[in-house]
Structure 1
Amino acid sequence: MTASVSSRGGASGERFPDRPHLPVTIPPLVCAILAERAVLTGRLPSGPGTRTFLVPLLVLSAGVLLLRRGRGLGRALVWPCVLVAVASLGGLAACGSLAEGRRGLEALSSVPVSSLELRTVEDSHPTRRGFLTRAEASLDDRRIADVYLSTREELSLGHTVSCVGRLRELGDDDFAISCRARGIVASVSVSHVRGSSRPGGALGPVLRLREALVGALDPGSSPERALVAGVCCGYRTALMGDPSYELIKLCGVAHLVAVSGSHLSIVTGIIAGALGRTALRPPSRIALLASLSGIFVLLCGSPVSAVRAWLMSLVAMGSQLAGRRAHSASSAGVVALCMAMADPHLSCDLGFLLSVSSVLGLCALSRYLSWALGTALRLPHLERLLVRRAAGRRALHCGGALVDALAASLAAQAATLPISTVAFGRLPLLGPFASVLLSPIAYAMIPVGLAHALLSNVGLGMRALGLALDALAGAFGRVLTLLAGLPWTSRTLMGGPWGFLAAMVPLALVLAFWPHPSRRTLRAFMALSLGVPVVLTLCAGVLQGPRVCVLDVGQGDAVLVQDGRSAVLVDAGPADDSCARELARLNVRRLDAVVVTHLHDDHYGGVRSLVGCIPVGSVLVGQGASGNVPPSLGMPQDF
């Protein structure tokens, strides 16, 4: 029910796809997001002066549109006025949100933390010192503002917490600016949790069911079960605290463990298949399908990508009831514009931006890339031999499906690359291939995992389902480890505006000119695209001169010493994944040795995060300290 792209003629290369239609909602959506981001991130002041400027601009644009209708002014004035009006509305909405946040901060500062009711609205995120959880602060049943709770223990989604702690205003660093842009006004350092009540209200039963499902999957028991909980229920707290999550990000498949449109389409397809066997009339089936798929979104914690996909499915269902053909790109544009105008803070939500851009990329580029890949890989002589036998025809069909899947993955990556380049500064070169290999395993986990969790909660747990679930998760982990060990898995890219332009310009040129290259040109381009990263990676170790890098690991020390292919790490920072993340950013694929100077947590804690992420030749401990190595470190057996 999400973005569905026809691949007719794509795998075989027989028919060149038409240029995709750009929905009229896309330019206003871009203008609204840019205006809201400018205000929310402080690039455009949010004070009375800006509002005084935006209101007349909005009135002027509306007036020109009315005059155009009444006096027949040129059509050239219409679109600029529409875009200016939408941008003005977005800027005004963002100004209002920031003003509301400032009032909320003043109200929070005037009362003790112990008098507040803090209801968690997201799962906890593990940090170096505990957990960070977004919560809605209320006083006397009146919502005030959203804050971050810093706690030693994990807090469950939907719980209402009463605690003792200290309210801290956000500073002026990048993290604080990001928090304010996403609607968070302060942080609360919790020293003691006095009480916690389970979810109540209309969503209480659904959230309690989610707790039961996550508990049945037991994500804390192993990395495999943590992966299953993330894929099936959107619960990633245990997974983010495991070193394997760094491998997932390194390979560019984090979208497989973040519930989004693809997950919703799997569940919706299963439900639709079951409802299709009933005697219900189409309107009743569609209403029931919309309700059940909405419950699944709630069970997954209502991530913005899944909410976007569900709203798109509602638009598609409405089109079906009205007897009209659904258009995925138009649905995505309408839904995204409505969401951005209703909640300006979504314009600064990375998940929202990546979700919308990936859907639009699928709609715009998937058929074109499928045609290009199919044309470049097509071998007519081999096709004529295979088509004579049934097994050969099945092989051709499977090959076409793989080409279409790879094209869809490439389209999504191309569309999200301008955003991810600025946000992460990395390009997962094997991301599309990893997605093709791992997505069938991940999507197979969804029905098996949900069935296992539901049956376990009613006392009908089946050992076969549990074994199948562990086998799928184990296969996912083995393929992931294999891909992460390849030397060209991911490369560092330039960030900032230059990185954005480098990723955006080729995409814009393809959409503008819609080139129709020959098979020879496509094959040459494919060989160049595959060959250059491999050659650069193989030569990187030889060309790398001596360097010493002090890694950004927060409260701790970690120093990398490199010369050509040789690399030694002196200390590894605190007990989190910051050291492994920094090594991945610097494209370090192997360490000859890790030197632990002394046994303080902020010097040796990060050694554990390297296990399974990067090969290490040996671990060296300072003389006199080797007899006091903590057993939890697991040296030297882990290496």
Structure 2
Amino acid sequence: MRRKANPELPPRPYIPPATAAAAASIATAACIFEIGWRFALSGAVSLMPIWVPVIFGLASGGMALTGWRLRRHRGAARALGCWLLWAAAGIVLACMASCWALQARATAMQAFFSAPVSGYRFVTRGDPTLTDLGAQISADAFDSDGVKVARVRLSTGKTYERGCSLALIGRAKRLDDTDWSRSRFMRGEIAVVQSVRVTHQSKASSFDPLGAARASMLSVIGPSRDDAAALTAAVVCGRSCEFNRTSSADLFSRTGAVHLIAISGSHIAVLSALLGSLLLRMPLSPRGRTICLLLVMGVYVLFTGCSPSAVRSCSMAALGMAARLGSRRAHALSGLMLVTAALVIMTPGIVYELGFQLSVASVLFISIFGRYITCILCRCGLPPLIAEALAITICAQWATLPLAVPAFGQISLIAPLASLVLAPVMGALLVCGLVAAPLGALVPVLAPVVFVPQALARVSIFAAQLLAAVPFSSVYATMPPLMAAASCFLACALLAWWKDVRRWQLLAVVGLIAVLCAGHVLFWTRAAPACVTVLDVGQGDSILIRDGSAAMLVDAGVDDAVCSALVRNNVYRLDAVLITHWDLDHCGGVPYIVSMMPVDRLFVARGASGNVPPELASADLPPIVEVSAGDRLRIGAFNGEIVWPREPVGGLENGDSLVVDMRYERDGRRLSVLLTGDSELEQERRYAAGVGSVDVLKLGHHGSAVSVDDDLLRTLSPAVAIASAGKNNRYGHPTEKCVEAVKHFGARFLCTIDVGDVALFPDRDGVRLNVEHAGGVQ
């Protein structure tokens, strides 16, 4: 029997000079828009100082001159000159486009805030975003003369579809210094309008046949009916707002299969294959078939809302087809770079859209490393079709890790398998939906035919549920800048090396990585250093206490931010979570924690176990244990004593907060920390004398005005006082009164807003601390 020959190693891919134009245009647009955003926050009339285009103009001029001179040489110098010329072109065009876009935003901001909200007519654009308080949607504001003034983010209590014309009474506010506001600014929105009352509603007069067709198809699908219908609407029509509100959306996120839902290259490939097979049966020339195919793909991209990934994939397909029509060889990397540069020049703010970043990065790595990794997997014995599918998933996940982990805080370990299982079903769902939905819209009596794609949607959801139930299918993770840089360095090193890899070498590398990961986990679960860490979880409280194999969390923050905080502190299990009281900014993260890692028990104040909030009641909570003043907790060498409350409480008020006096003493090292929950002076004055002097005071109620005073500080005599609060919180925490009291006493004041996590280590001198962001230390 003949042995099957190993596939030949593919040649190193050619990196075109257009890469320089794409990279330069992205970097230029990102820098200029960041400067414009900072000027917008400061309230400046102009968002673009004159020195910005001057600097970029000089840089591009220097590059162009150097590149032109190098072009006269041969070999590597000539190639470098070509790259410099492309980079100079990218800088010039991106700079011009960015400056024009920022000037347009500055003009819109000045004009929009010069008149009341009631003086405008708002025409909604795109699909709404559904929230617990209503809906948000992008809208164009027109004045009484019908002239477009600005694009804003409209927040309403009712859901309005795209194309609605609204007259309303409401409030307009400028964008604040938050990540959400920054993302809206980059998309061209200059303000948030909160609708109080809609006084008139009508359909916009503009002719929109695609919008009408989409609305008809969505009415047949009924995305609000159930999860399967919502998934069908997302895959076929690109409307994901209903699906994003379902529990199934989390399943696809945990299995790393969200890219199968978003309108992207896979959708364009399926549509191209479906339409191409139909066009082959028609009496059309190759040129005619290509033109028809391009027209239909373009219409579908417009139909689904022109997402960046869809526009990118459609444009790349158009360039490839155009090259073949011109008897030229299509080159995927050249097409990607040209399309990327063009998109940035047309809409510079797109560089800050996560969808655009993920799309470009994944296609870049697939184009460069896809064939190489496919070859390696084939040599390991995998069938070519499976090897190719796995290689695409590995490349895409590798490329998007530095982007996706900071955004979502998770890594899906089961994503390669999930793509193999779900991709065929989702492809069939798309094909059936593209046939059934238009058919049901055109012939209402045939509307029930949509049960076919919805049945496939149910199969997809069921498969995602099974995959998500696999242990460690998804893990919370953080991506420090050093790891992101290492990922990029590894890609560059592999591209430069580009040699054959034998099976034993691959197994050795995988084994080494497994040993390093196992050693890392073993150290942090068995030999973690004694430490109390005040975690940065936004506007909430969460304090980690650990020593060796023991770990306890005091409070759980408000949401899943606590999971990211635990991951960056290398926590893999908890002996207990102690909830000081039932305010959601102290207990809201519990459901996320118990779904992420083992938790042995939940401590609450005596009498509070009967008041578990409904947000936690549906979670798989560990056994609840009640504690009160005088009870002691031991975490490794840490000894914690409950000093408040002294009688049963409901756990619903700030004054009901459990207060823990945590002390450590071993081998001459010591540390004492008072964790006060949300207790304030009324309670603190009653228990402070019994506590006595401490090294660290975790300020009560996030550093509110009544959390501390001179008398309390003299009683406790802390060397360090720490407030846990969120940036730009509406309560003004920590208050100036609290900060001034601490500084006047002479203690060191720290806040998680400024320094991030604050780690406190026992020391012979009492306390040694380390902060996440050293630049914020006061």
1:181 aligns with 2:186: yes
Cα–Cα, structure 1 residues 521 and 239, in superposed 2: closer, same or farther, change >3 Å? same
Cα–Cα, structure 1 residues 589 and 343, in superposed 2: closer, same or farther, change >3 Å? same
Q: Tell which deviates more after alignment, 139-148 or 103-112.
A: 139-148
1:172 is aligned to 177
Question: 1:50-129 maps to which residues of 2 (within 5 A)?
Answer: 50-59=52-61, 75=78, 77-127=81-131, 129=133
* In 2, Cα distance between equivalents of 1:455 and 1:153: 30
* In 2, Cα distance between equivalents of 1:496 and 1:231: 33
The CA deviation at 1:355 is 0.9
Cα–Cα, structure 1 residues 277 and 193, in superposed 2: closer, same or farther, change >3 Å? same
* In 2, Cα distance between equivalents of 1:222 and 1:538: 44
* In 2, Cα distance between equivalents of 1:321 and 1:624: 77
Question: 1:539-554 maps to which residues of 2 (within 5 A)?
Answer: none
Unaligned 5+ runs, structure 1: 1-10, 379-398
Give the letter for the 1:427 counterpart.
Answer: I
Cα–Cα, structure 1 residues 477 and 71, in superposed 2: closer, same or farther, change >3 Å? closer
- Partner-residue secondary structure (3-state), 2:158: coil
1:47 is aligned to 49
- Partner-residue secondary structure (3-state), 1:41: helix
Cα–Cα, structure 1 residues 95 and 464, in superposed 2: closer, same or farther, change >3 Å? closer
Find the structure with the greater CA-based Rg. Answer: 2
Question: Aligned match of 1:159 in 160, 164, 167?
Answer: 164
Cα–Cα, structure 1 residues 176 and 37, in superposed 2: closer, same or farther, change >3 Å? same
* In 2, Cα distance between equivalents of 1:449 and 1:26: 37
The CA deviation at 1:587 is 8.4
Question: Aligned match of 1:450 in 434, 447, 451?
Answer: 434
* In 2, Cα distance between equivalents of 1:227 and 1:584: 31
Question: Aligned match of 2:251 in 218, 223, 247?
Answer: 247
2:744 is aligned to none
Question: Aligned match of 2:196 in 191, 194, 199?
Answer: 191
Cα–Cα, structure 1 residues 181 and 610, in superposed 2: closer, same or farther, change >3 Å? same
Conserved? CA contact 1:487–1:537, under 8 Å: no
| TM-score, length basis structure 2 | 0.68
Question: Aligned match of 1:22 in 8, 15, 20?
Answer: 15
1:231 is aligned to 235
1:138 is aligned to 142
Residue-by-residue CA offset, 1:52-86 (whole Å, 9 max, x unaligned): 33334445555666777899997354533442342
- Partner-residue secondary structure (3-state), 2:446: coil
Conserved? CA contact 2:475–2:596, under 8 Å: no
Question: 1:567-578 maps to which residues of 2 (within 5 A)?
Answer: 573=558
Conserved? CA contact 2:358–2:400, under 8 Å: yes
The CA deviation at 1:180 is 2.8
Cα–Cα, structure 1 residues 278 and 71, in superposed 2: closer, same or farther, change >3 Å? closer
* In 2, Cα distance between equivalents of 1:471 and 1:584: 38
Residue-by-residue CA offset, 1:301-324 (whole Å, 9 max, x unaligned): 211110111111211221232232
Conserved? CA contact 2:9–2:375, under 8 Å: yes
Give the letter for the 2:413 counterpart.
Answer: L
Give the letter for the 2:55 counterpart.
Answer: F
Question: 1:385-534 maps to which residues of 2 (within 5 A)?
Answer: 399-424=383-408, 426-457=410-441, 458-461=443-446, 463=448, 465-466=450-451, 468-495=452-479, 497-529=481-513, 533=517
The CA deviation at 1:499 is 3.2
- Partner-residue secondary structure (3-state), 2:126: coil
The CA deviation at 1:635 is 4.9
2:153 is aligned to 148
* In 2, Cα distance between equivalents of 1:638 and 1:463: 42
Cα–Cα, structure 1 residues 250 and 49, in superposed 2: closer, same or farther, change >3 Å? same
The CA deviation at 1:125 is 2.3
Residue-by-residue CA offset, 1:233-253 (whole Å, 9 max, x unaligned): 211111222233233223322
Cα–Cα, structure 1 residues 601 and 57, in superposed 2: closer, same or farther, change >3 Å? closer
Residue-by-residue CA offset, 1:520-579 (whole Å, 9 max, x unaligned): 1022223445665577668865566888887877677778888959877957748xx777
Conserved? CA contact 2:21–2:337, under 8 Å: no
Cα–Cα, structure 1 residues 572 and 219, in superposed 2: closer, same or farther, change >3 Å? farther
2:30 is aligned to 37
Cα–Cα, structure 1 residues 71 and 595, in superposed 2: closer, same or farther, change >3 Å? closer
1:383 is aligned to none
* In 2, Cα distance between equivalents of 1:439 and 1:110: 51
* In 2, Cα distance between equivalents of 1:187 and 1:50: 28
Cα–Cα, structure 1 residues 118 and 610, in superposed 2: closer, same or farther, change >3 Å? farther
* In 1, Cα distance between equivalents of 2:59 and 2:579: 62
The CA deviation at 1:120 is 3.0
- Partner-residue secondary structure (3-state), 1:149: strand
Question: 1:302-341 maps to which residues of 2 (within 5 A)?
Answer: 302-341=306-345
The number of residue pairs the alignment matches comes to: 605
- Partner-residue secondary structure (3-state), 2:193: strand
The CA deviation at 1:405 is 0.3
Give the letter for the 1:237 counterpart.
Answer: C
In proportion to residue count, which structure has more strand? 2
1:345 is aligned to 349
Give the letter for the 1:264 counterpart.
Answer: I
Give the letter for the 2:149 counterpart.
Answer: I
* In 1, Cα distance between equivalents of 2:393 and 2:134: 35
The CA deviation at 1:347 is 1.6
1:283 aligns with 2:268: no
Give the letter for the 1:126 counterpart.
Answer: L
The CA deviation at 1:513 is 1.6
Residue-by-residue CA offset, 1:143-182 (whole Å, 9 max, x unaligned): 3333222222333234333322211112234443343333
Cα–Cα, structure 1 residues 320 and 603, in superposed 2: closer, same or farther, change >3 Å? same
Q: Which has the higher contact order (CA 8 A, sep 6+)?
A: 1
Conserved? CA contact 2:555–2:587, under 8 Å: no
Give the letter for the 2:434 counterpart.
Answer: L
Residue-by-residue CA offset, 1:391-441 (whole Å, 9 max, x unaligned): xxxxxxxx3211110011111222223333454454333322322222222
Conserved? CA contact 2:554–2:578, under 8 Å: yes
Cα–Cα, structure 1 residues 611 and 444, in superposed 2: closer, same or farther, change >3 Å? farther
* In 2, Cα distance between equivalents of 1:618 and 1:217: 45
1:271 is aligned to 275
Identity %: 30
Give the letter for the 2:13 counterpart.
Answer: P
Question: 1:590-605 maps to which residues of 2 (within 5 A)?
Answer: none
Conserved? CA contact 1:422–1:499, under 8 Å: no
Q: Tell which deviates more after alignment, 327-336 or 590-599.
A: 590-599
Q: Tell which deviates more after alignment, 319-328 or 258-267.
A: 319-328
* In 2, Cα distance between equivalents of 1:525 and 1:301: 43
- Partner-residue secondary structure (3-state), 1:302: coil
RMSD: 4.0
Cα–Cα, structure 1 residues 180 and 470, in superposed 2: closer, same or farther, change >3 Å? closer
Cα–Cα, structure 1 residues 168 and 297, in superposed 2: closer, same or farther, change >3 Å? same
Give the letter for the 2:464 counterpart.
Answer: L
Q: Tell which deviates more after alignment, 91-100 or 103-112.
A: 91-100
* In 1, Cα distance between equivalents of 2:353 and 2:424: 28
2:372 is aligned to 368
Cα–Cα, structure 1 residues 597 and 313, in superposed 2: closer, same or farther, change >3 Å? same
The CA deviation at 1:131 is 2.9
